[in-house]
Amino acid sequence: MAYLMGIDCGTSSLKTLIIDEDGRVKAVSAQNYQFASPFGGYAEHDPREWWEACVHTIRQDLAESGIDPEQIAGVSFSGQMHGLVMLDEKMEVIRPAILHCDARSGEQVRSIKEKLGEEKVRRLMMNPVYSGFLLVSLLWVKENEPENFRRIAHVMLPKDYLKFRLTGEVSSEYSDASATLAFDVANVRWSEEILKEFDIPAGIFPPLYNTDEAVGNICPAAAKETGLSTKTKVVAGGGDQVMQGIGNGVTKAGGASVNIGTSGQVSFQSDTAIVNPALSTNTFCGYRKGRWITMGAIMNAGLCLKWCNQLLGQSDYKKINEEVAKVVPGSGGVIFLPYLNGERTPHLNPDISGEFVGVNLGTGAPQLTRAVMEGVAYALNQCIELCGDLGLKADGYIVASGGGARSGPWLQIQADVFNYPLKVAETEEQACLGACIAAGVGSGVYKDIEEGCARTVRYKDFTVIPDPKAHAVYEEYYGLFKDIYRAGSSELNKVTLLGRRVDRESKSDLHK
């Protein structure tokens, strides 16, 4: 029996999972950490802390499972996307990594847009230019820390640093690379034209692999630190969105998933690279050449609920869900705009703020909490709507994941707002499981990703079905949600009137 290891390098924690060939969990461990924000809008992290967490969780998993390290056939990765890690010629970290949630580089964003122009951005990058993406952060370093820029011998993404430490070799793969803005998404390669335009040496960028390709073995130094065997294959892995898709069994064109983590994403699988003229969605490479994902991303999802709970002094999630379930759809006329930290899809505005609209004397903690869940669902529905405008539709159902899939009321809210049935994978660590599956392909345990998913991915024994009456209510609220952003306070009276009407109707069978 062979075993597989998946490592997920997230923004706030690193998780390591070991499964057997049939997907049975043998060990899982996590280590939390906190990125630094030395100045307003900055988000940085010393990559060596990720490595320390990686070593700790690997050793913890090996000890917990009692598995002989030589039985670990392969290890692979999922990682937070977009971040910039820089090494010098001695392979030492030059400065803390600049993360995806960093907002310092507004000037560089404007410069890129002005220099390239909208047509070139659309043709070359196929994605909106946004702070926190690797190229933008790299230009910030070039312009603000020229001494550090001159020292750069290698740039990579967060999970690739861990892969480097395990193998001694620098590499990346197509999915994460395509989310840097330094990549030719349509032709699946680093973009010589973009790099030349901004006078960045192409030689600092790593060689690229498919997600499920082996890039080497555990090197002796890493074997000594982690306890892993030098016989274990190290497989390229992918960006967290691609790996969550694999871990959710969403790998074929027409497959769709929605994730509510700290931020939120809606992702559609496609056999073609979708060009969005408005550049309000992202198109990245999938787990192999010839596969792409188109996604809408919101900045604030689970983060909004965490903020709300802190604001209201709530911490018992069982009780929170029970109270939310008692509130009828529409939260008594309260609408929440989840823009606590700006927004990406569809507004591409880092400066907008969140707000509650329609608060009244009947509003209590359950109404505010449910309004937050509904507001996040409305924002994600805008992503689904935009992808639909691009010709992307889900084949029958959407797979829900993240913290939003662990709350019964929030799952039902999503189904009712999206008007799609939802399935939920059994494992809560979909990104880690996706990495395990990739490790299995790269080490020869599985023939391909599809076989790995068939062997390991299982769904819970229920499907969340949309309630037509709740969806009808949400259609009205969703329209107001969009109108409020466009028109501001002129929509307040409509929200109040709709809230009163829904309250009256709550005596009917609208509320389950």
pLDDT at res. 497: 52
Do 425 and 384 form a contact (C-beta atoms < 8 A)?
no
Q: Is residue 256 part of a domain?
A: yes
Residue of 511 and 469 predicted with greater confidence: 469
Residue 470 is given by DSSP the state H
Residue 134 in this model has a pLDDT that exceeds 60: yes
The CB density around residue 355, as the number of other CB atoms within 10 Å, is: 17
Report whether 4 contacts 73 (CB < 8 A): yes
Q: Is the peptide bond before 346 cis (omega within 30 degrees of 0)?
A: yes
Do 236 and 312 fall within a single domain? no
pLDDT of residue 512: 44
78 and 204 in a single domain? The answer is yes
Distance of alpha carbon 378 from alpha carbon 357, whole angstroms: 14
- Listed range (224-233, 288-297, 335-344, 481-490) with the worst mean pLDDT: 481-490
Q: Is the pLDDT of residue 510 over 70?
A: no
Backbone φ and ψ for 152, nearest 5 degrees, come out as -65, 125
Average pLDDT in the 261-273 region?
91
Active site residues: 240
9-38: pLDDT as tens digits: 999 899 999 999 999 999 999 999 999 999
3-state DSSP assignment of residue 216:
strand
How confident is residue 511, by pLDDT bands cut at 50, 70 and 90?
Answer: very low
175 and 307 together in one domain: no
Q: Are residues 197 and 255 in the same domain?
A: no
**3-class SS at 276?**
coil
Predicted confidence at residue 186, as pLDDT, reads: 84
Task: Record the pTM.
Answer: 0.89
Same domain, 239 and 281: no
Say if strands 85-87 and 154-156 run parallel, antiparallel, or are unpaired.
Answer: antiparallel
How many structural domains is the chain composed of? 2
Of 270, 474, 275, 491, whose CA–CA distance to 377 is shortest? 474
63: three-class secondary structure by DSSP? helix
Is 433 within the bounds of a domain? no
The answer to whether the beta carbons of residues 384 and 418 sit under 8 Å apart is: yes
DSSP β-ladder status, 238-239 and 72-79 = parallel
Q: Are residues 19 and 105 in the same domain?
A: yes
Q: Are 29 and 61 in contact (CB under 8 A)?
A: yes
Q: Tell me: the pLDDT tens digits for 339-389?
A: 998 888 998 787 788 999 999 999 999 999 999 999 999 999 999 999 999
Report whether 455 contacts 24 (CB < 8 A): no
Rounded to whole angstroms, the Cα distance separating 59 from 48 reads 17
Which tokens go with 212?
A: 């499920």
Residues 259 and 238 in one domain: no
**Res 221 pLDDT > 80:** yes
The whole-number pLDDT of residue 375 equals 98
Other beta carbons within 10 Å of 108: 23
pLDDT at 79: 97
Residue 280 and residue 270: Cα distance in Å, rounded?
A: 17
Domain boundary among 220, 243, 266: 243
Residue 489's pLDDT is what?
A: 42
Q: Examine residue 200 and state whether it is found in any structural domain, yes or no.
A: yes
Q: What is the pLDDT of residues 154-200, one digit of tens each?
A: 999 999 999 999 999 999 999 999 999 999 988 899 999 999 999 99
Work out the pLDDT band at 506, boundaries 50, 70, 90.
low
Q: Both 191 and 281 in a single domain?
A: no
DSSP secondary structure string, 383-440?
HHHHHHHTT---SS-EEEEEGGGS-HHHHHHHHHHHTS-EEEBS-S-HHHHHHHHHHH
Q: What's the rounded Cα separation, in Å, for the pair 371 and 305?
A: 10
Which helix (H) or strand (E) is 287 found in, with range?
none
Q: For residue 458, is it within any domain?
A: no
Please identify, among 243, 263, 290, the residue that sits at the C-terminal boundary of a domain: 243
294 with 390: CB under 8 angstroms? yes
**Average pLDDT of the residues of the chain:** 93
3-state SS record for 181-203: CCEECCCCEECHHHHHHCCCCHH
442 occurs within a structural domain: no
Do 73 and 57 sit in the same domain of this protein? yes
| 89 and 123 belong to one structural domain | yes
Give pLDDT tens digits for 227-254: 999 999 999 999 999 999 999 999 999 9
Domain final residue, candidates 201, 225, 243: 243
User: Residue 49 sits in which domain range?
Assistant: 3-243
Q: How far apart are CA 72 and CA 68, in angstroms?
A: 7
Res 344: pLDDT? 83
Place of tokens 């391909």: 448
The span from the CA of 96 to the CA of 103, in Å, is 15
Q: Model confidence over 277-293: pLDDT tens digits? A: 989 999 999 998 888 99
> What is the distance between the alpha carbons of residues 105 and 7, in angstroms, rounded to a whole number?
30
What's the pLDDT at 202? 97
pLDDT for 490:
45
Specify the pLDDT at position 495.
55
Report the share of the chain in percent with pLDDT over 90. Answer: 85
Residue 410 and residue 377: Cα distance in Å, rounded? Answer: 8
Q: Are residues 126 and 168 in the same domain?
A: yes
* Span 44-95, pLDDT tens digits: 999 999 999 999 999 999 999 999 999 999 999 999 999 999 999 999 999 9
| In-domain check, residue 431 | no
- Two tokens, residue 341: 């930290």
Q: Are residues 355 and 477 in the same domain?
A: yes
306 pLDDT tier (thresholds 50, 70, 90): very high
For residues 273 and 285, what is the distance between their CA atoms, to the nearest angstrom? Answer: 8
Q: Give CA–CA dist 191/187, Å, rounded.
A: 9
Any domain includes 436: no
Pairing of strands 256-260, 398-402: parallel
pLDDT at residue 503 in the model: 57
DSSP class of 348:
-
Domain CATH code at residue 230: 3.30.420.40
In a domain? residue 451: no
Question: What b-and-e string marks burial along 109-146, b requiring 16 or more CB atoms within 10 Å of the CB?
Answer: bebbeeebeeeebbebbbbbbbbbbbbbbbbbbbeeee
